[in-house]
Chains A and B, each alone.
Chain A
Amino acid sequence: MTSVGNLQLSSDMASSLLPEMIMLLGLIAIVVIPNLGDAKFRIPLTSVRVPVLLGGSRFDLTNDPRMPNRISNITFAIAFISSLMLISEPSKELGGVLMADGFSRLFSTMFLGALLLVSIATTHRLPAKVNARIPEESDSEAVFDRKISVLINNRRQVDFYILLIMVGLGMSMMAMATNLFMLIVCIELASLSTYVLVAFHKEASSGGEAGAKYFIVGSVASAIGIYGMSLLYLWAGSLDLDILREKWQLMDGVDPFAAFGIGMMLVAFGFKVSAAPFHLAAPDAYSGAASQVSGLLATASKAMGFLALFRVLVMITVPDGSEALWMVTLGIFAILTMTWGNLAALTSENPKRMLAYSSVAHAGYMLAGIAVVGSGITGTNESSIILTAVTFHLVVLVLFKLGAFLVLTLLETEGSGHKMEHLHGLGRRDPLIAGSMFLFVLSLAGVPPLSGFLSKLLMINGIVSSSAGTGISSSEDILSWAESVDPMFWLAGAIVLNSALSLFYYLRVGLVMFFEEPVVDRPLKTAPSLRMAIFVCAILTVLCGIGPVSEWILDLVNGAIDSLMYE
């Protein structure tokens, strides 16, 4: 047993940090393995040469530019499986700042699943040339430059996957954090890596611009959040979530330090979940980044923001049975976010921007759920349903939102995918891919029996059963009934109306895919592993909406929420 400060490492603890350990090993492997070569070290004064393996001319296997992709796929796959196995383990406190329980493991499984899909999809999005030629003296200048750029592109492979694993580490640790400091550090680890990933789309000038924009706005948001955290520290003298919660419950009236601290953290997390009015950088970032990275932002990164909101808002500041301070603000934000997102998506001519705005709208639906939890009208049971719904939505969002972005990734491999026209006639060019895309948008719209419907139904059910139950049963006409329900009821109404509004742009995707003539009438690229990822998403989108798989996942989520609420 070794100990580093307060943190004690034992085999027991290592087993509950297994996914993180695997990612750490993967990180080392991705740095070391591509550099393995036949270098030998001659022991001085003898002729004995000892192979040191690092350096020299590389082996064929390690020189393969597809190697980083393979390592990252394997790393994420093993980490994903091990994290899945750990979900049902009893919860365990680690070093006072981390807590490995069902809730955190569920989130880290989801993060790792999303990252696994992204990593698999990137195989064809950033294709590596296996036998890149070395430029020679006799080459013409153009050929020389092309060869150089292929070589550079091949080297870029490593950077991309290193960043991806860093995102995974940050997110997965963040899920377990029970200390605000740890939480922010892990979020920053993940965020900084995503800023670079957004800018990684070097083929288009929009990539760098998007990355810079996302970085600047993101760091301002983080700075505000950290300032809020420091105010909380001033007020409570600790950053431990449990202590903060106790302090909040004992608080007499509202302490300005605490209120401002929470409000500022709300801004930081609001940026992460791309809630209006902090969402303005999101559409630019999503449309500038490579599609699979946009998918990552719209699913895992957003889920990270919601996780932080759970930890900070729901766990610290919801006093039992009374209204939380931020309830009205969040309710207004929720309605603003979903309406703004849907209206902006209606007019988008770029499918990536459309999906970005739709992701803003989805953030609005989930915020509405959290606002109702904060309104204090929900019983424990309803709170649990709403939080289950939000978490389940975040989980299945990985399937259909990322799936939709992966379809755009497939289009990007042929240089298109950033205009609605590029989707034209997809139904004729590739019926299976178009069918999957149609399934994804239908699920985003919340059409039964797909998984998007199930989560929306649970959410609306939670809101309605906690707010409409107050309606007076003797009211005969519709107006007096409408006056008798709790104001929070109208959040459910807003979700329903917005879902109806969103149908227009989701169905439009289907219409252009099946009705319009294709601009280029050649079949799509084969890209087997990318296709496989898309089909996995499509099949799971259906299975998670109906049947035993959906039940299994709902049970997992429900158990996780229980472990969060009654820890």
Chain B
Amino acid sequence: MISDPLTVITIVPLAVSLVLLILPKISGSAEGLARASRAISMGVSLAMLAITTMIFFGEIGNVDWTDYNSGYSLTNDAFALIPSIGVHWKVGADALSFPMIWLTTLLIPISMLVEWDAKRGHLFHPLILMMEGALIGVFVSLDVFVFYAFWELTLVPMFFLIMVWGGDDRKYASMKFFIYTFTASVIMLIGILVMYFYTPDVASSGTITGHSFDMAVMISSSDYIPSEGLRHLVWILLLIGFATKMPSFPVHTWLPDAHVQAPTAGSMLLAGVMLKMGAYGFLRIAVSAFPESTVAFIPLLIFLGMASLVYGAWVCMGQTNLKRMVAYSSVSHMGLIFLGIATMQPLGIAGALFMMFAHGIISPLLFAVAGAFKHHYHTLEIGSMRGIAHHSPWLAAHMMLGWMASLGLPLLAGFVAEVTILIAFWMSFGWLVLLPALTLIITAVYYLTSMQRTIFESNDPHQGKLPDTLHGEEPRDITWHENSGMIILGVFTIIFGIFPFIFWDMMSEWSSGFLIDTLVEAMQSEGVKP
């Protein structure tokens, strides 16, 4: 139906958003366009969702996602962007990237919906649309240069979202966000360049440098890097870039600030998709190219994962700010992804992939709840507002669902991911599994206390306690668009909790295939049991 759907879903949002942002600036007669830009953005993002959903159901491209051996699907004919240095426009998706692509196209319209009444909507919604193009570009590009360009491009709309629509301390937060992630990606770029200089000459005819940025060629370059020390160094450089994005302890400190200050839609996308870019890039480039280094550094991965998990959860218990607590819980959950990869089990890696997906559904719900809370009660302090079940039963219900999903209640999406990672961890490391398992108790503690204090606890059983920031006004109930956005997310949380196999099958196939193809050899040579 559409010959090159992945290019379409990348380029169309970017092009439309640029037109919507720039045209009204240049010509005064385009004011009508500015007024319609909110509707146009929503329309385009829904169309993109329709395309990815049709890809999933096989209407477009007729792809069997559970077949690992078919490699990348929906690829295009490589179009030379800078042939002299071997840069091509080459896209494709597999079971690693497709769930992320679908998730992106799902979250974009929902986050637009939740902030449907944002101030200066003629800029806000196009920026989110630009975010969509950049995020999808990261997941689909099969050229490391283009991957990196999109990786950096995601910073631009997010930076402006935080800086223009953020909270009181937005200046500091957006600056910190930009500098932190930009520095990390420059470090990553150095690693990428070292790989580039070692790419073999064979596949890159027509370049004047004799190297290529093609993902497949780049990944094979590790065979050509002569020294093991250099390979480890490059792996570390890449890890710094990806771990900062994820974010993992100890480079996570930008995240709470960015989240607390970001507008609701910004937080939703940041937690929902942007953090997953780190895990995606780590698997796609670092692990694929340097399986030996990955195996050699398993203890480091376990340390980082455990530290993020425990530290994130521990800090959550002390938080009084709702959004900050949710942000630290993201750090904690991202730690599980490293643990899942470190198990070197098909189940563990598939669990990590499902964690990426499930957290991508649940955490936007959490941030939507926190955003609605801020919007209607003008505060994010956990003890200042009590008994919202009285005022806003819908918000209380969403909060409960989200909180329960995030702490891993069975039959909700988060449970599947957590339990598979823990099983795989047990298979690899035996009783050490008690460490992450016991941390989940901490998770339960902070979620349940915060929920109890905000939803239920009240001095008067029939009346909630309103925060001072409302100055005695009666709070409004959540608006229809916030409510419907949260309902959609809640429904998907339940759907993927009860029917995880919708995406689980392709993820587990991919994980076992990936493990056999790239990691087994390295594990044998390093003497690690599979």
Query: B197 and A468: CB pair below 8 A?
Result: yes
Query: B81 and A547: CB pair below 8 A?
Result: yes
Query: B145 and A474: CB pair below 8 A?
Result: no
Report the stretch among B42-50, B112-120, B208-216 that lies at the interface: B208-216
Interface string of A457-489 (1 = CB under 8 A from B): 110111011001001111111111100000000
Residues of B near A480 (CB, < 8 A) are 227
Query: A474 and B226: CB pair below 8 A?
Result: yes
Q: Which of B205-227 contact A (CB under 8 A)?
A: 208-211, 226-227
Residues of B near A474 (CB, < 8 A) are 226
- B25 nearest CB across to chain A (Å): 6
Query: A385 and B208: CB pair below 8 A?
Result: yes
Query: A503 and B186: CB pair below 8 A?
Result: yes
- A479 nearest CB across to chain B (Å): 7
Query: A461 and B227: CB pair below 8 A?
Result: no
Residues of A near B145 (CB, < 8 A) are 448-449
Query: A464 and B179: CB pair below 8 A?
Result: no
Whether a CB of chain A sits under 8 angstroms from the CB of B283 is: no
Whether a CB of chain A sits under 8 angstroms from the CB of B472 is: no
Query: B186 and A458: CB pair below 8 A?
Result: no
Whether a CB of chain B sits under 8 angstroms from the CB of A373 is: no
Report the stretch among B83-91, B323-331, B369-377, B492-500 that lies at the interface: B83-91
CA distance A468 to B163 in the complex (A): 44
Interface string of A510-526 (1 = CB under 8 A from B): 01001100000000000
Residue of B nearest to A463 (CB): B197
Query: A515 and B171: CB pair below 8 A?
Result: yes
Whether a CB of chain A sits under 8 angstroms from the CB of B54 is: no
Report the stretch among B70-78, B228-236, B475-483 that lies at the interface: B228-236
Whether a CB of chain A sits under 8 angstroms from the CB of B19 is: no
A478's contact among B174, B190, B230, by CB below 8 Å, is which?
A: B230
Whether a CB of chain B sits under 8 angstroms from the CB of A84 is: no
Whether a CB of chain B sits under 8 angstroms from the CB of A507 is: yes
Residues of B near A432 (CB, < 8 A) are 22, 25
Whether a CB of chain B sits under 8 angstroms from the CB of A189 is: no
CA distance A481 to B83 in the complex (A): 31
Q: Which of B222-271 contact A (CB under 8 A)?
A: 226-230, 232-233
Residues of B near A457 (CB, < 8 A) are 85, 193, 209
- B386 nearest CB across to chain A (Å): 37
Query: A546 and B208: CB pair below 8 A?
Result: no
Whether a CB of chain A sits under 8 angstroms from the CB of B300 is: no
Query: A476 and B82: CB pair below 8 A?
Result: no
Query: B226 and A551: CB pair below 8 A?
Result: no
Query: B197 and A472: CB pair below 8 A?
Result: no
CA distance A472 to B228 in the complex (A): 12
Query: B228 and A511: CB pair below 8 A?
Result: no
Place the interface of chain B in its size category. 35 or more
Query: B226 and A481: CB pair below 8 A?
Result: yes
- B83 nearest CB across to chain A (Å): 6
B226's contact among A431, A449, A475, by CB below 8 Å, is which?
A: A475
Query: B80 and A551: CB pair below 8 A?
Result: yes
Whether a CB of chain B sits under 8 angstroms from the CB of A500 is: yes
A465's contact among B80, B83, B152, B197, by CB below 8 Å, is which?
A: B197
Whether a CB of chain A sits under 8 angstroms from the CB of B528 is: no
A461's contact among B182, B197, B230, by CB below 8 Å, is which?
A: B197
Query: B85 and A481: CB pair below 8 A?
Result: no
Whether a CB of chain A sits under 8 angstroms from the CB of B189 is: yes
Whether a CB of chain A sits under 8 angstroms from the CB of B470 is: no
Residues of B near A458 (CB, < 8 A) are 84-85, 208-209
- A555 nearest CB across to chain B (Å): 8
Whether a CB of chain B sits under 8 angstroms from the CB of A447 is: yes
B82's contact among A465, A472, A551, by CB below 8 Å, is which?
A: A551
Residue of A457, A478, A511, A545 most packed against chain B (CB within 10 A): A457
Query: B85 and A454: CB pair below 8 A?
Result: yes
Residues of B near A514 (CB, < 8 A) are 163
Q: Which of A322-363 contact B (CB under 8 A)?
A: none
Query: Interface residues of A: mostly helix, strand, loop or mixed?
Result: helix
Residue of B80, B149, B197, B227 most packed against chain A (CB within 10 A): B227
Query: A477 and B229: CB pair below 8 A?
Result: yes
Query: B209 and A465: CB pair below 8 A?
Result: yes
Whether a CB of chain B sits under 8 angstroms from the CB of A554 is: yes
Q: Which of A139-180 contact B (CB under 8 A)?
A: none
**Given A457-B193, A503-B186, A507-B179, A554 and B229 contact (CB-CB distance below 8 Å):** no
- B344 nearest CB across to chain A (Å): 24
Query: B229 and A481: CB pair below 8 A?
Result: yes
Query: B84 and A496: CB pair below 8 A?
Result: no
Whether a CB of chain A sits under 8 angstroms from the CB of B311 is: no
CA distance A384 to B226 in the complex (A): 26
Whether a CB of chain B sits under 8 angstroms from the CB of A558 is: yes
CA distance A432 to B178 in the complex (A): 20
Whether a CB of chain B sits under 8 angstroms from the CB of A294 is: no
- A527 nearest CB across to chain B (Å): 16
Residue of A nearest to B26 (CB): A432
Interface string of B161-193 (1 = CB under 8 A from A): 001000000010011001100110010011001
Residues of B near A473 (CB, < 8 A) are 226-227
Whether a CB of chain A sits under 8 angstroms from the CB of B456 is: no
A447's contact among B83, B152, B174, B229, by CB below 8 Å, is which?
A: B152
Residues of A near B25 (CB, < 8 A) are 431-432
Query: A448 and B152: CB pair below 8 A?
Result: yes
Residues of A near B152 (CB, < 8 A) are 447-448
- A512 nearest CB across to chain B (Å): 11
Whether a CB of chain A sits under 8 angstroms from the CB of B148 is: yes
**Given A465-B197, A547-B81, A481 and B230 contact (CB-CB distance below 8 Å):** yes
CA distance A511 to B179 in the complex (A): 10
Residues of B near A503 (CB, < 8 A) are 182-183, 186
- B471 nearest CB across to chain A (Å): 29
CA distance A351 to B378 in the complex (A): 41
Query: A478 and B227: CB pair below 8 A?
Result: yes
- B75 nearest CB across to chain A (Å): 20
Query: A465 and B210: CB pair below 8 A?
Result: yes
CA distance A514 to B193 in the complex (A): 30
A515's contact among B83, B175, B189, by CB below 8 Å, is which?
A: B175
**Given A507-B179, A546-B81, A448 and B189 contact (CB-CB distance below 8 Å):** yes
CA distance A555 to B232 in the complex (A): 37
Query: A551 and B84: CB pair below 8 A?
Result: yes
Query: A461 and B226: CB pair below 8 A?
Result: no
Whether a CB of chain B sits under 8 angstroms from the CB of A119 is: no
Residue of B nearest to A500 (CB): B186
CA distance A445 to B84 in the complex (A): 21
Whether a CB of chain B sits under 8 angstroms from the CB of A550 is: yes
Residues of A near B230 (CB, < 8 A) are 478, 481
CA distance A473 to B226 in the complex (A): 4
Whether a CB of chain B sits under 8 angstroms from the CB of A388 is: yes
Residues of A near B183 (CB, < 8 A) are 503
Residue of B nearest to A481 (CB): B227
CA distance A507 to B85 in the complex (A): 26
- B318 nearest CB across to chain A (Å): 30
Q: Which of A242-267 contact B (CB under 8 A)?
A: none
| A-B contacts, 30 listed (Cβ < 8 Å) | A384-B208, A385-B209, A431-B25, A432-B22, A448-B189, A449-B87, A449-B149, A457-B193, A458-B84, A458-B85, A458-B209, A460-B193, A461-B85, A461-B197, A461-B211, A465-B210, A471-B226, A473-B226, A473-B227, A477-B228, A478-B229, A496-B193, A545-B82, A547-B82, A550-B82, A551-B80, A554-B82, A554-B84, A554-B208, A558-B208
B residues whose Cβ falls under 8 Å from a Cβ of A? 22, 25, 80-85, 87, 145-146, 148-149, 152, 163, 171, 174-175, 178-179, 182-183, 186, 189-190, 193, 196-197, 208-211, 226-230, 232-233
Please list the 3 inter-chain residue pairs (A to B) with the smallest Cβ-Cβ separation, ordered nearest first: A478-B229, A473-B226, A481-B227
A sample of 9 more A-B contacts (CB under 8 A), given A500-B186, A546-B81, is: A432-B25, A449-B146, A458-B209, A461-B209, A465-B197, A475-B229, A477-B228, A481-B226, A515-B163
A residues whose Cβ falls under 8 Å from a Cβ of B? 384-385, 388, 431-432, 447-449, 454, 457-458, 460-462, 464-465, 468, 471-481, 496, 500, 503, 507, 511, 514-515, 545-547, 550-551, 554-555, 558
